[in-house]
Amino acid sequence: MLPNLAMQWVMRLEVEIGPERRIGPVPAGERIDYPIIGGSFAGPDIRGDVLPGGADYFLMRHDGVGVLDARYKLRSDDGVVIDIHNSGLWVPTDAGRARMKSGLDPLPWELYCRCTPVFRAPTGRHDRLNRWVFTGSVDYPRPGIVVVNCFKLI
């Protein structure tokens, strides 16, 4: 019998990104860095700011699938700095790819974007984040904003 997995929502991150920096072709595709310049996060028992200074080291593969590799820091309202490494996939539907060929971004329903955030929190109030496995959904509600809803697997 297969185990029954469930999820519990933990937090929503609203991440502000700066202008893209095209790094160029690499063997696996094209690298595009998106600097992280700020933002905020909140959940039932944690909230705070996204610190500037990280980036999503995005790879657009030759098959049209994007690979997320975001590394940045959060600072909770009680002053705890937490590292986050968020990896995932950005997969447009056929309709989304057609829009991209005309120079437009895919519409929200034309995009599958999921991630696996990993947190590193210091010993203390928020170190429970080190002991859970997370998954997340990624949305792009407007230019310069990425929203990640994080869920722990239970």
Between CA 36 and CA 83 the distance in angstroms is: 13
Residue type at 11?
A: M
Q: What is the pLDDT of residues 15-35, one digit of tens each?
A: 999 999 999 999 999 999 999
What is the token pair recorded at 153? 């697997």
Fold assignment, 7-153: Porin (2.40.160)
Q: What is the pLDDT of residue 112?
A: 94
Domain boundaries, the chain: 7-153
SS3 of 59-120: the string is: EEECCCCEEEEEEEEEEECCCCEEEEEEEEEEEECHHHHHHHHCCCCCCHHHEEEEEEEEEE
Q: What is the pLDDT of residue 79?
A: 98
pLDDT above 90 (res 121)? yes
2 pLDDT band, cuts 50/70/90, is confident
Of 75, 89, 71, residue with least CA distance to 29: 89
Are the CB atoms for 44 and 89 separated by under 8 Å? no
Check: pTM over 0.85? Answer yes or no.
Answer: yes
Q: What is the pLDDT of residue 107?
A: 83
